[in-house]
Structure 1
Amino acid sequence: MNNLIASTANNTLTMSSREIAELCEKQHKNVLADIDKMLNELEIHSAEFSAQYKDSTGRTLRCYNLPKDLTITLIAGYNVKLRKRIIDRWQELEQNQGKPDLMTVLNDPSFLRNALAEYSEKVIELTPKANAFDRIATKSDGSLNLTESAKHLQVPPKKFNQFLFAHGWIYRRAGGKSWVAYQDKLKSGYLEHKVHTVHQYDGTESLYPQVLITAKGLAKLAKMLEMPQQLLLE
């Protein structure tokens, strides 16, 4: 999990409603509704924690940045597995908050030598992945399903689906189990829909929609995944 959504403001560690939605595998709009209800019942003015972000289409949308106490209060009604995810994430953020100040370490020659060595190792590690991105960008032999796409991009399938959901590529309809592509991604040529036929044991057939990622979509995602994470919100 990255630090893209969680942030520190006025030395107070906060967690975005977007990250809460991602960790809990909920739609962001539903988490917003839960927070609205919680703040109303606690008689807390929502403006104190309100924020904004831009989605993949450039629209400015609302979100919340909650401190730890309100985050824990919010998820008290969620199931135990979801609560555990949030608590683990808070522990990770609190540990990272204790790291030394950036300007201090940048003036430390030993830190710079170690950072350069780590950077060189990372370049060597990422070179095969960068070459894979180049191959994806020139791929023209059809589209891949989500699992195949995750393998090409070297991302765990579950994390990959969460990334697509968080960045407005796919969603699930209420009560549905299959992922559905957002219309703007279909129009952009990043995604396609295919109906998959499954033969049941009783001889009947069931139709299931399937999201496919085009070569153009794979190239776009490859660039997003290698981009500095803070830029994904700009």
Structure 2
Amino acid sequence: MTDLVTLSGDTVVTTTLAIAEGTQTQHKNVLELARTYRADLEEFGMVAFGTRPRLPGQHGGGSTEYADLNEQQATLLLTYMRNSPIVRTFKKSLVRAFFQMAQRVNMRAANPLAVLNDPTAMRGLLLSYTEKVISLEKTVAEQAPDVATFHRIAAADGSMCMRDAAKALQVRPMDLRNWLISNRWIYQRPGCGGWLAYQERIQQGVMCHKINTVQRDDGSDKVVQQPRLTPKGIARIGTEWAKAAA
């Protein structure tokens, strides 16, 4: 059973997986709804998309993509779903779960000694800490070669087109392009065939534009912008993919 709410840092979140399970809706439909209304959801913070291994018994292979949603985002997403009895019941459960988790977080922050006096809580904290240390050590060992490669790329000069960047990352160009679209690195203007980098990504130094002038058949000049990934951007993507695969 998927946890209804969890902590992501200091933020209480739910997932599209939990919403799909609680509303008895196919997860692909919930995820598509989150993508469709992503701009609305991101008025309440960035939507974090991620992947996790499929659970035993789930159909398909590989990993499952999902999105983390804070309380406001989850509430808004549920308003875009058909208000059936199942959805209404789940809404109440989710509101209650968010409230209860927020209360627990506030109590721990106000009185950290309460955890020390609770053997069950202490045992859970120690077990969680030990598991995280073991997992982190394993991840560091497994990712060390890739991370070293990404650091070398980040220190390099020059930028790459999407095809060359995909080759450097050892993925299909189509897969890289789809990732860049879904994570809001590139977009297309209506009526235009070419891709453009979001200004936010340019300011972050992970993408840039290469401007070329080509000649039309009638002899006139046409200015074409090509989005390119900087070494910093390639290293960032590679590091995020390595973490997601861990």
- TM-score w.r.t. structure 1 length? 0.48
Give the number of the structure whose alpha-carbon radius of gyration is greater.
2
- TM-score w.r.t. structure 2 length? 0.46
